[in-house]
Amino acid sequence: MVSKTTEDLSHLFASGHSACAGCGQSLSVRLVLRAAGRNIITTNSTGCLEVFSSNYPRSAWQVPWIHSLFENAASVAAGVEAALRATGRIDQIRVIGQGGDGGTGDIGFGALSGMWERGHDILFICYDNENYANTGVQRSGLTPYGSSTTTSPAGKVSWGNPRPKKNLPEIALAHGLPYVATTSVGYPFDLDKKVKKALSIRGPKYLQIFANCPLGWRHDTAFTISISKLVVETGLYPLLEWENGQLISARKIGKKKSVDEYLRLQGRFSHLFGPGGDKEIAKIQAIADANIAKYGLMSKSATGVEPPDETVEAARASVTAPPSSPTKPAVRTFTLGELAAYNGRNGQPAYVAYKGKVYDVTSSSLWEDGEHQLEHKAGRDLTEDMNNAPHSDDTLDRVAMVGVLKN
């Protein structure tokens, strides 16, 4: 059951707007506003979001919202923040600036850089759909390598966009921001957590959200969430978080997917599956592999290496002797203390106990960073919690049982 408070907040971005079916940006905005709450003022650059949410005389925005020009959403946000500070209301109201990848990283970057450099207390969010979707699917600085757009078309002499995707989060880090993060619309709990975290920190913040565009990317509208998960599972779009310049979290990949699984679902990459395209796909795979190596994205459960922790070593020692039948694997016996080591954080696997059995939920899409629904935590016995939860326990039928819990 959803509480009345949550229900109310979920409609701060109202239905009835004119976004395309499967639009990752409209879903992202709804999640952002639900996490941020009512006490915000938002500014918006020109782009798809501005157009489909504010067809005169209607508006989907149930919070204060300002649209000015393509290039100055950050400047307008800075003016709002300065006014709140001057009138003594900066502690009651948060300011969020918003733009697409073009309005954030290209046309609007000068204003954004200035806002960051001056230290305004603003969260700026980039809804990254990797093209100028509103004006005809042109290439932006955040368009990925190999993508076919109207200004980087694939053809006889071109494999699509020849340039790598601009690394805007690390450009933000170079400005000395106290908080920078990336997320994806396919991971709503990760998105929710990072919006709330950003708004709890004073000073300039930057959040970049992978928000796919079915029309511009030419993919089935039913694949929006699948694609926004695959891009993470391949390593092409790591979910990262920095505080004061230090990387504090990187979402681990439970089971690595090859990039062609991701590319094949999208028409913008269809040319890569013709003669000679395998070399271009290999280049994109190299980009994903480089991200995995740079940020340490592979979970230790996926590589077969368990966390080097003293409690985990104790768990190893508790493995029972193999049963007499060679066809049945050994069953581990965990104490509660040993189970606690498998909490899904810092590269550790995520295990949970339920009714005396221990399950591996590391690769489950229902668990993120060792948490489910921001309520259940990995590394614990969830028998009592799940008995009282408003859902069934059949989700555990789809994950592996790895042991039993010692009484």
Given this model, what pLDDT does residue 25 score? 95
Q: Is 106 helix (H, G, I), strand (E, B) or coil?
A: coil
Cβ-Cβ contacts under 8 Å for 211 (sequence gap 6 or more): 23, 24, 25, 27, 28, 127, 128, 129, 185, 228
Given this model, what pLDDT does residue 203 score? 97
Q: Is 218 helix (H, G, I), strand (E, B) or coil?
A: coil
User: How far apart are the C-alpha atoms of 57 and 76, rounded to whole Å?
Assistant: 22
Domain residue spans in the chain?
A: 4-298, 310-405
Given this model, what pLDDT does residue 239 score? 97
Rounded-to-10 torsion of CA 126, 130, 135, 136: -170
Given this model, what pLDDT does residue 377 score? 87
Q: Which helix (H) or strand (E) holds 111?
A: helix 109-118
Please state, in angstroms and as integers, the Cα–Cα distance from residue 238 to each residue in 185, 186, 285, 289, 393, following that order.
13, 12, 14, 11, 30
The letter for the amino acid at 349 is P
Write the secondary structure of 141-202 as one string of H (helix), E (strand) and C (coil): CCCCCCCCCCCCCEECCEECCCCCCCCHHHHHHHCCCCEEEEEECCCHHHHHHHHHHHHCCC
Exposed e or buried b per residue across 88-105, where buried means at least 16 C-beta atoms within 10 angstroms of its C-beta: eebeeebbbbbbbbbbbb
pTM: 0.76
Q: What is the CA radius of gyration of the chain?
A: 23
Given this model, what pLDDT does residue 324 score? 43
Most distant CA pair in the chain, distance: 76
Top-level CATH class of 310-405?
alpha beta
Domains 4-298 and 310-405 share a fold: no
Token pair for residue 105?
Answer: 């990283």
Name the nearest CA neighbour of 299 among 340, 239, 356, 382. Answer: 239
Cβ-Cβ contacts under 8 Å for 137 (sequence gap 6 or more): 131, 149, 150, 213, 215, 216
- The alpha carbon of residue 199 and the mean position of all alpha carbons in its chain are separated, in whole angstroms, by 17
* Per-residue pLDDT in tens (0 to 9) along the chain, 407 residues: 334 444 466 689 998 899 999 999 999 999 999 999 999 999 999 999 999 999 888 899 999 999 989 999 999 999 999 999 999 999 999 999 999 999 999 999 999 999 999 999 999 999 999 999 999 999 999 999 999 999 999 999 999 999 999 999 999 999 999 999 999 999 999 999 999 999 999 999 999 999 999 999 999 999 999 999 999 999 999 999 999 999 999 999 988 999 999 999 999 999 999 999 999 999 999 999 999 999 999 976 555 444 433 333 333 444 433 444 444 446 789 999 889 989 888 778 889 999 999 988 887 767 777 887 667 889 999 888 876 654 555 567 667 888 899 87
Given this model, what pLDDT does residue 5 score? 47
Write the secondary structure of 241-260 as one string of H (helix), E (strand) and C (coil): EEECCEEEEECCECCCCCHH
DSSP code string of 23-53: -HHHHHHHHHHHHH-SSEEEEE-SSHHHHHH
134 in Cβ contact with 127 (< 8 Å): no
Token pair for residue 110?
Answer: 């000068």
Token pair for residue 10?
Answer: 């979920």
Contacts 24+ apart (CB under 8 A), 135-138: 137/213, 137/215, 137/216, 138/102
User: Does the CA dihedral 288-294-297-300 come out positive or negative?
Assistant: positive
Question: Using one digit for the tens of pLDDT, what is the confidence trace for 373-389?
Answer: 667 889 999 888 876 65
Q: How many contiguous H segments (helices) and E segments (strands) does the chain have? A: 16, 16
| Residue whose entry in the numeric block shows the structure tokens 């006490």 | 39
Top-level CATH class of 4-298?
alpha beta
Name the nearest CA neighbour of 176 among 206, 146, 220. Answer: 206
Given this model, what pLDDT does residue 401 score? 85
